[in-house]
Structure 1
Amino acid sequence: MAAQDPEGAPAGPGQRREQFGSRFLSDPSHVFHHNAWDNVEWTEEQAAAAERKVQENSAQRVCAEKQVDYEVNAHKYWNDFYKVHENGFFKDRHWLFTEFPELAPRPNQNHLKDLFLETEKGGLSDCRNTEGGPGLTTEQRSCSSASLRCETQTAPEGQTQKSSPLQMCADKLPGSSATYRILEVGCGVGNTVFPILQTNNDPGLFVYCCDFSSTAVELVQTSSEYDPARCFAFVHDLCDEDQPYPVPENSIDVVVLIFVLSAVVPNKMQKAINRLSRLLKSGGMMLLRDYGRYDMAQLRFKKGQCLSGNFYVRGDGTRVYFFTQDELDTLFTTAGLEKVQNLVDRRLQVNRGKQLTMYRVWIQCKYRKPLLPST
């Protein structure tokens, strides 16, 4: 799926954006001194008004025929979106490395180093338990790369193996020799991928990125910032269980989901997260930032745009869901991941020119795949 990203307000010339939760509005008269205020407390009256607004705009549902159209032709609506907006709709994600330092260069680029050292001590020889990263022996690195390059799936007896043009083997698979692998699902026009490539110069880094929209992927691939030696962009529907990812299970260090899961039909979210969880290495991280319940965007919907509870269709045919923390926790833990972070960012955004205030609600999550026990 693709994603519409509502964020990106700059911190100001020469200023480094503070991590969310650190800029508080203590004096209401100063509301227009900054572009945004973090962790803004809602009054009981404000919360009740938001709930009433959602009940009101959810009372009338989109007819069944149109709901089928939005699902069957979802790719068309997203392609049309990118054809209209191309790169112009999206803003820089100034918060990216502040909130997700896992994507930035670090002294020890691979966060699984301790696990690898323990693995060596334990004498494990399974490729899946010794993949990639500093501290590995030459033999182990070879084992890791071979696992990524040549893992295949065997169809049950009597069935034909459904292959994909993205399934590659040996040296044809991009990133097969990488020691740190990032996968962004719903990459859009590259507003996360390109900052990573520009900022993170780790020679062992390789970034995979995919989007539901072929138009978005084409925009990424034709960008002057796209480097096929360090990045591989491909079209993928994260809800299609029959469409394999071009990398094997247990091969990815970080999976990134930024304003993308909300574009998925709610009853398909769990299986999508389950598939992504299987791609993560032991100790690998899944990072998410998405719309929270009662965000301004949800309150602005009119009657007749609601598909199901907290799930809406925009005027351009793209869809969006608004989460609670508990819903996301259930999705990730059911997929076998452990909570590292699950926070609500209640932000007050300000339009200084028009003297307007806008209340935004976003949720940020980090969940880890459990470490394999050492022996």
Structure 2
Amino acid sequence: MEKRPQFGNRVLTNPENVFQHNAWDNVEWDEEQEAEAESKVAKNSATKYEDDADQFWDKFYLKHQNRFYKDRQWLFTEFPELAPEGVPSESTPQRVLTEGAVSCPSDPTPFTLTSPASAASEDSFGDFPGKTSKTRFFEVGCGVGNTVFPVLKTNNDPNLFVYCCDLSANAIQLVHENPEYAGGRCHGFVADVSSPSCQLPFPENSLDLIILIFVLSAVHPEKMQETISGLAKYLKPGGKILFRDYGRYDLAQLRFKDGQCLQDNFYVRGEGTRVYFFTQEELREMFVKAGLKEEQNITDRRLQVNRQRQLKMYRIWIQCKYSKPLESF
């Protein structure tokens, strides 16, 4: 009977004999094996959620179509700037702030934001969708249009043009299929505004409002400042960014299971999409660093109760409004 080699002494000297035993000791990897292993690890790491973010959102909208999100009934209450001439209609009651919340009043004046800088920028840009419109809104991360189309239905101003973009081509396809899109007052397109190479179809200093509703939270934290600073360049002097997103320790954050946290306060959902949970202070720092002036920065807390199960659930959102100073032009 052949004597069994002591553990640690069975060395593979001839690759052709690799399948003669179940195991070999002290095996060394070559560069090709090392590279292949690194590649496999990368595919299974958090970077895939960044590299393939558009694919995860595409799958999301392919599965849910337009059934997942509802039109935002609170939209004009929270953001009267989106209603005709910035004034809510009788059907959109004014927001009642909770105790401790501070908000600067919104300017009800119709948008007539023009400056030599914005006019020169538009002239040099050439032709673009909505060029002849006096008022221009842009929603980032529009999904299937649950903000865009209520705005278009409510605001009949023929001088209003709305741009909207999303990372998901499937979402934009659903926007294009909406009957309200056919009116020629909207331009929807696929774009990743967190990418430095992103090209938008309008010039800098040309937008009255930029809408960021539950979208910045899907951007990698390391790209958030660059994203906000890049978008701020497209505002006219006096133009605003309207922001609403998840606040720190919202119910959605507390419900995540172990292993779903990619890094501090940044999580991945089951379908591969990501979400970050903000504080007022970090948002203030990013918007001010982008050269914008604070008009509103509040924490909106809501208690939801399950009476049958006797459960209390706390929702936390942060809402901000930041404007581009007039005096800088």
- TM-score, normalized by the shorter chain, greater than 0.5: yes
Give the C-alpha shift of residue 357 in structure 1.
3.2
Please show how residues 1-375 of structure 1 align to structure 2 within 5 Å. Answer: 65-106=44-85, 111-113=110-112, 126-128=116-118, 144=119, 147-148=121-122, 150-151=124-125, 169-170=126-127, 173-351=128-306, 356-372=311-327
1:181 is aligned with what amino acid?
Answer: R
Shift in alpha-carbon separation, 1:110–1:179, aligned structure 2, 3 A? farther
In 2, distance between residues paired with 1:354 and 1:244?
Answer: 50
Give the C-alpha shift of residue 346 in structure 1.
0.8
- CA-based RMSD: 2.1
Do the aligned partners of 1:148 and 1:248 also contact (CA within 8 Å) in 2? yes
Once the two structures are overlaid, the 10-residue window that deviates more, 250-259 or 101-110, is 101-110
> How many pairs align?
268
Describe the SS at the equivalent of 2:71: coil
Give the C-alpha shift of residue 226 in structure 1.
1.2
Spell out, residue by residue over 1:192-244, the C-alpha distance to the aligned partner (whole angstroms, 9 max, x if none).
Answer: 00000000011110000000011000000111121351000000001111121
TM-score normalised by L of structure 1: 0.68
Flag the structure with more relative contact order, 1 or 2, with Cα contacts below 8 A and sequence separation at least 6. Answer: 1
Percent of aligned pairs sharing the same letter: 57
In 2, distance between residues paired with 1:211 and 1:186?
Answer: 4
In 2, distance between residues paired with 1:291 and 1:177?
Answer: 36
Name structure 1 gaps, 5 residues minimum. Answer: 1-62, 120-125, 129-143, 152-168
Q: Which residue is equivalent to 2:17?
A: none
In 1, distance between residues paired with 2:117 and 2:134?
Answer: 13
In 2, distance between residues paired with 1:103 and 1:369?
Answer: 17
Shift in alpha-carbon separation, 1:80–1:104, aligned structure 2, 3 A? same
Do the aligned partners of 1:110 and 1:180 also contact (CA within 8 Å) in 2? no
Do the aligned partners of 1:312 and 1:321 also contact (CA within 8 Å) in 2? yes
In 2, distance between residues paired with 1:187 and 1:336?
Answer: 24
In 2, distance between residues paired with 1:85 and 1:356?
Answer: 28
Give the C-alpha shift of residue 110 in structure 1.
6.0
Name structure 2 gaps, 5 residues minimum. Answer: 1-40, 88-107
Give the C-alpha shift of residue 68 in structure 1.
1.2
Describe the SS at the equivalent of 1:340: strand
